[in-house]
Chains A and B, each alone.
Chain A
Amino acid sequence: MNFDPSHSKRSFSSVGTRPIRPDGVDKVTGRARYGADFNMPGQLVGRILRSPHAHAIIRKIDTSKAAQLPGVKAVLTAADLPDLTNGDAAMYDILDNCMARKKALYDGHAVAAVAAIDARTAKQALKLIEVEYELLPHVTDVDQAFAPDAPLINDTIFTTGVDPKPDRPSNVSMRSQFGHGDVDAGMARADFVVERTFKTEQTHQGYIEPHACVANVCSDGTADLWVCTQGHFVYRQHCAELLGMDASKLRVTSSEIGGGFGGKTHVWAEPVALALSRKAGRPVKLVMTRDEVFRASGPTSATSIDVKIGALKDGTIIAADATLRYSCGPYAGAWAEVGAMTAFACYKLENVRTVGYEVLVNRPKTAAYRAPSAPMAAFAVESAIDELAKKVGMDPVDFRIRNAAQEGTKASYGPVYGPIGIGPTLEAVKNHPHMKAPLGKNQGRGMACGFWFNFGGQTCTDLNIGIDGTVSLAVGTVDVGGSRASLSLVAAEELGIDYSQVRTVIADTSTLGYNDMTDGSRGTFSSSMATISAARNAIKILRERAAQMWDIPVEDVTWEKGHAVAKGETHGNLPKLSLKEIAAASGTTGGPIAGHSEIVADGAGVSFATHICDIEVDPETGATKVLRYTVVQDAGKAVHPTYVEGQYQGGAAQGIGWALNEEYIYGKDGRLQNAGFLDYRIPVCSDLPMIDTQILEIPNPNHPYGVRGVGETSIVPPLAAVANAVSNAVGVRMLHIPMSPPRILAALEA
């Protein structure tokens, strides 16, 4: 579906307004039901036993005592689950991560589970399970795991992407490479070169709602799963495949979701809950504790990145090179690959090369976290770019403007860009009052750019018009932050009716066709595309019905502002028919009126942002305070601007936390030492200033209204923007994130 250029001049009537969201009242009154807010009659409580060891062979699990405890209805180990050893490797890994089969691969890895009549009994039962471990050497640091003599985590992993195939297994599951031109020749021509190695620590998405589900498997093989997820269709597919069920027999209903940010795109406890329910013959509710969320759901990668960039005297970047090592947990991943794709995506480069290495470590399996892999790469590249600008003697914004990618630029990861927003966001930042505000003592300002692809994917919507003329829109992309409001606006816009006449719901997996999950910033992008096409299909029927009511050819009926209008001289004086009137007559004109749409939403527009950060650093203690923060980002077209701002602010806040505070801390014993919100400190209200936002609208040519995904890009620049601000405040280049007070002091003393 192409962008209708007339829309750039078109005045939208619903799209771009800021109504209250349809699920709002339930959420401010405590009525909205999240993962843990659902119960079934006769339900049992499920609990999971987790390995305290980072790396150990599971010699034996004795569950007999637990099974005999009164009130215990099912005990489960990997032996009760299908053995996928000879099946699809990715599926094997997913199931092995849900329940360890041969080895415990990280502190927190599930090894057994129980279902009991109450939480107390379940907890007691876990204590009665005896697991015999044989400890193995472990490795949790990405650089140590990368070293040739590191303890081997999986002896079936041979690095792919290298020629010839290695003859020894290693902790590197894949090498990937992107780029074009001749980097070495370019670098040789450079007048100035910056070469640095950066490190970022592992962080967690930190959604406030722990994973929760209620599973109910019937003896006839049908099953229901209530779960907080970003993608209930994908969960259905995975759970069915892992447990050997027909997908159609498993109905998955997505609860309201209390945050996901990528972390609820992977199954963790759900297959276990289903298997427990199947074994016990009763519904099972399984809710993770916060400790489990940190230890055993998916944090993002820790990274170590080498960057080398060269520039000519006139400020042209002549060559750019990066090697990126990303931890992926104890299973093969593809995270460095994404980092390698995004690293230099903001720039127009003649000679560019990026190499990514996926590194296995004894930590939880890495999961997506908002623009996964991009923030770390941007931290390294944008820090080096800032330093290079100084060497060249240019203002950092001007230096970036000079080298910014444009329409027609061949991106470092391959494709040629259409109209893009990197230049405009930089110009907006250059002219922003924030850039001109004075700074005080110990204060520094930093800015940085960020890129994210965005994703389209399989999407399906049903738009049903009631006989009273109001509209029910059923979509299959989970609403993570207000998309029901946005999609109601889009349906209202297309049909020409009022927002209040549309109600959007998230359909379960049995009532709508397959949808990919809400990730890749695709929720509003792809479902709005499907909604527009569903509405257009409905309008086609509405026109036919009006033609029938008037007894004129359908070609003579147009649709304008919610009405069928008869055109042409002969029909000119027929009074127009409203959607409501046509709907009321549907019983006599051919039955219910609906529009459906099943699409692959191709053409998600790439998105760019530039952020500005002011920070104050206390040189005595290394403590930091963010004083002012500004986000400028291209939205293509902001459907509900308030929620777009919310995405910008939320991503910036997460990025600030990552830059300054958040990290997984492992002891020498390979155990996670800060699996709680007290010690894994995410930003609180008093840590942050107001976050100013500026929405730019450079239409995405592949969407009828010009919409781009907006959810993720906002977390890409902050790590670098904050690091540049700190570096400017203290006069020392910061190379290691998070910049916690001890690390800042160490950098000052170095």
Chain B
Amino acid sequence: MMVGIAVSTNINGDNAEFLCHADETLLDVLRDRLGLMGAKEGCGTGDCGACSIILDDRLVCSCLVLGAEAEGRRIETVEGMAQGDQLHPLQQKFLEHAALQCGICTPGFLIAAKDLLAKNPDPTEEEIRFGLAGNLCRCTGYDKIVRAVQDAAGVMRGA
């Protein structure tokens, strides 16, 4: 029998507490224990970025983080990006540019792009492409994703 580990953490500004097993990933905790299904599992091995979250200001694959490691940390997920009914500029621009087809990769891209723009508010196309190279999209060919991020970056800079 495995005994659960008690973890207290902060998710999208709200305190959250949960019990998890020692070998349980943070992705599984978010999805199965906390009902936050925005982060997706595309591979479970750190190769697709669909599970991207921000952990204490660092972009991570939540499938590579253990639930227990969230103790005392700050987690941001796609569910926390919009403020009430006000979409984040990245979300808005993804919609306007049709930067999603099936949309399974979208939460991961939004989080990765948010992290990128926090560190580099005015990236070149190449910086965007390399900044998002950890996220796989099989539908779009990335063209519209890059354009959406460029456009959102402009809005966020107030340009």
- Minimal beta-carbon separation of A36 from chain B (angstroms): 7
Inter-chain pairs besides A258-B40, A684-B132, 20 sampled, C-beta below 8 Å = A28-B110, A29-B82, A30-B36, A30-B107, A37-B37, A206-B138, A207-B102, A208-B50, A256-B103, A259-B101, A259-B104, A259-B139, A642-B97, A649-B143, A650-B138, A677-B48, A684-B133, A685-B129, A685-B130, A690-B143
B residues in contact with A33, CB < 8 Å: 37
- Minimal beta-carbon separation of B58 from chain A (angstroms): 20
Q: B66-109 toward A: CB 8 Å interface, digit per residue (1/0)?
A: 00000000000111011000010001001111101111111100
Residue positions of B touching A, CB distance < 8 A = 2, 21, 31, 36-45, 47-48, 50, 77-79, 81-82, 87, 91, 94-98, 100-107, 110, 125-126, 128-130, 132-146
B residues in contact with A480, CB < 8 Å: 101-102
Contact call B140/A649, Cβ cutoff below 8 A: yes
Q: Which of A17-25, A190-198, A378-386, A388-396 has 4 or more CB atoms under 8 Å from chain B?
A: A17-25
Report 7 cross-chain contacts, Cβ distance below 8 Å, ordered by A residue.
A18-B98, A28-B91, A30-B107, A208-B136, A256-B104, A260-B102, A649-B143
Q: In whole angstroms, how far apart are the Cα atoms of A652 and B144 in the complex?
A: 14
Contact call A209/B104, Cβ cutoff below 8 A: yes
**Is A110 close to B, CB under 8 A?**
no
Contact call A209/B96, Cβ cutoff below 8 A: no
Residue positions of A touching B, CB distance < 8 A = 18, 20-21, 23-25, 27-34, 36-37, 120, 205-210, 256-261, 287, 289-290, 480-482, 642-643, 645-647, 649-650, 652-654, 676-678, 682-686, 688, 690-691
- Minimal beta-carbon separation of A500 from chain B (angstroms): 15
A residues in contact with B41, CB < 8 Å: 36, 210, 287
Contact call B96/A20, Cβ cutoff below 8 A: yes
Contact call A208/B140, Cβ cutoff below 8 A: no
Q: Nearest residue in B to A205 (C-beta to C-beta)? A: B138
* Contact partner, A685, options B37, B77, B132, B138, Cβ 8 Å: B132
Contact call A646/B43, Cβ cutoff below 8 A: no
- Minimal beta-carbon separation of A644 from chain B (angstroms): 10
Q: In whole angstroms, how far apart are the Cα atoms of A208 and B133 in the complex?
A: 15
Contacts A30-B78, A650-B141, A691-B141 given: A25-B87 contact, CB under 8 Å?
yes
- Minimal beta-carbon separation of A207 from chain B (angstroms): 6
* Contact partner, A677, options B21, B47, B126, Cβ 8 Å: B47
B residues in contact with A257, CB < 8 Å: 102
List 7 A-B pairs, minimum CB-CB distance, nearest first: A30-B38, A258-B104, A653-B141, A27-B103, A649-B141, A677-B47, A481-B101
Q: In whole angstroms, how far apart are the Cα atoms of A120 and B22 in the complex?
A: 12
A residues in contact with B145, CB < 8 Å: 685
Contact call B95/A20, Cβ cutoff below 8 A: yes
Q: In whole angstroms, how far apart are the Cα atoms of A209 and B107 in the complex?
A: 13
- Point out which of B47, B95, B103, B132 has the most chain A C-beta atoms below 10 A from its C-beta: B103
Contact call A481/B95, Cβ cutoff below 8 A: no
Contact call B95/A24, Cβ cutoff below 8 A: yes
Contacts A290-B42, A290-B43, A642-B98 given: A30-B138 contact, CB under 8 Å?
no
Q: In whole angstroms, how far apart are the Cα atoms of A261 and B139 in the complex?
A: 9
Contact call A650/B40, Cβ cutoff below 8 A: no
Q: In whole angstroms, how far apart are the Cα atoms of A488 and B81 in the complex?
A: 28
Contact call B95/A25, Cβ cutoff below 8 A: yes
B residues in contact with A654, CB < 8 Å: 138
Q: Nearest residue in A to B110 (C-beta to C-beta)? A: A28
Contact call A650/B98, Cβ cutoff below 8 A: no
- Minimal beta-carbon separation of A153 from chain B (angstroms): 31
Contact call B45/A481, Cβ cutoff below 8 A: no
Q: In whole angstroms, how far apart are the Cα atoms of A29 and B31 in the complex?
A: 15
Contact call A290/B87, Cβ cutoff below 8 A: no
Contact call B105/A208, Cβ cutoff below 8 A: yes
Contacts A30-B107, A208-B42 given: A682-B95 contact, CB under 8 Å?
no
Q: In whole angstroms, how far apart are the Cα atoms of A260 and B98 in the complex?
A: 18
Q: Nearest residue in A to B46 (C-beta to C-beta)? A: A678
* Contact partner, A30, options B79, B94, B133, B140, Cβ 8 Å: B79
Contact call B136/A684, Cβ cutoff below 8 A: yes
* Contact partner, A28, options B2, B77, B100, B126, Cβ 8 Å: B100
Q: In whole angstroms, how far apart are the Cα atoms of A261 and B50 in the complex?
A: 18
Q: In whole angstroms, how far apart are the Cα atoms of A34 and B108 in the complex?
A: 14
- Minimal beta-carbon separation of B118 from chain A (angstroms): 18
- Minimal beta-carbon separation of B137 from chain A (angstroms): 7
Contact call A676/B37, Cβ cutoff below 8 A: no
- Minimal beta-carbon separation of B24 from chain A (angstroms): 9
- Minimal beta-carbon separation of B94 from chain A (angstroms): 5
Q: In whole angstroms, how far apart are the Cα atoms of A480 and B21 in the complex?
A: 36
- Minimal beta-carbon separation of A258 from chain B (angstroms): 3
Contact call A649/B144, Cβ cutoff below 8 A: yes
Q: In whole angstroms, how far apart are the Cα atoms of A21 and B99 in the complex?
A: 11
Contact call B98/A646, Cβ cutoff below 8 A: yes
Q: In whole angstroms, how far apart are the Cα atoms of A693 and B126 in the complex?
A: 20
A residues in contact with B102, CB < 8 Å: 207-209, 256-260, 480-481
Q: Nearest residue in A to B92 (C-beta to C-beta)? A: A28
- Minimal beta-carbon separation of A559 from chain B (angstroms): 31
Q: In whole angstroms, how far apart are the Cα atoms of A682 and B136 in the complex?
A: 8
Q: Nearest residue in A to B45 (C-beta to C-beta)? A: A676
Q: In whole angstroms, how far apart are the Cα atoms of A688 and B104 in the complex?
A: 20
- Minimal beta-carbon separation of B126 from chain A (angstroms): 8
Contact call B144/A646, Cβ cutoff below 8 A: yes
B residues in contact with A206, CB < 8 Å: 138
* Contact partner, B138, options A259, A686, A691, Cβ 8 Å: A259
Q: In whole angstroms, how far apart are the Cα atoms of A348 and B38 in the complex?
A: 51
- Minimal beta-carbon separation of A69 from chain B (angstroms): 14
Contact call B139/A646, Cβ cutoff below 8 A: yes
Q: Nearest residue in A to B96 (C-beta to C-beta)? A: A20
B residues in contact with A27, CB < 8 Å: 100, 103, 106
Contact call A686/B129, Cβ cutoff below 8 A: yes
Q: Nearest residue in B to A207 (C-beta to C-beta)? A: B138
B residues in contact with A36, CB < 8 Å: 31, 40-41
B residues in contact with A482, CB < 8 Å: 98, 101
Q: In whole angstroms, how far apart are the Cα atoms of A3 and B84 in the complex?
A: 46
* Contact partner, B40, options A34, A649, A684, A690, Cβ 8 Å: A34
A residues in contact with B48, CB < 8 Å: 208, 290, 677
Contacts A259-B138, A646-B144 given: A30-B37 contact, CB under 8 Å?
yes
Contact call B101/A209, Cβ cutoff below 8 A: no
- Point out which of A28, A34, A287 has the most chain B C-beta atoms below 10 A from its C-beta: A28
Contact call B104/A208, Cβ cutoff below 8 A: yes
Q: In whole angstroms, how far apart are the Cα atoms of A481 and B141 in the complex?
A: 13
Q: In whole angstroms, how far apart are the Cα atoms of A731 and B114 in the complex?
A: 44
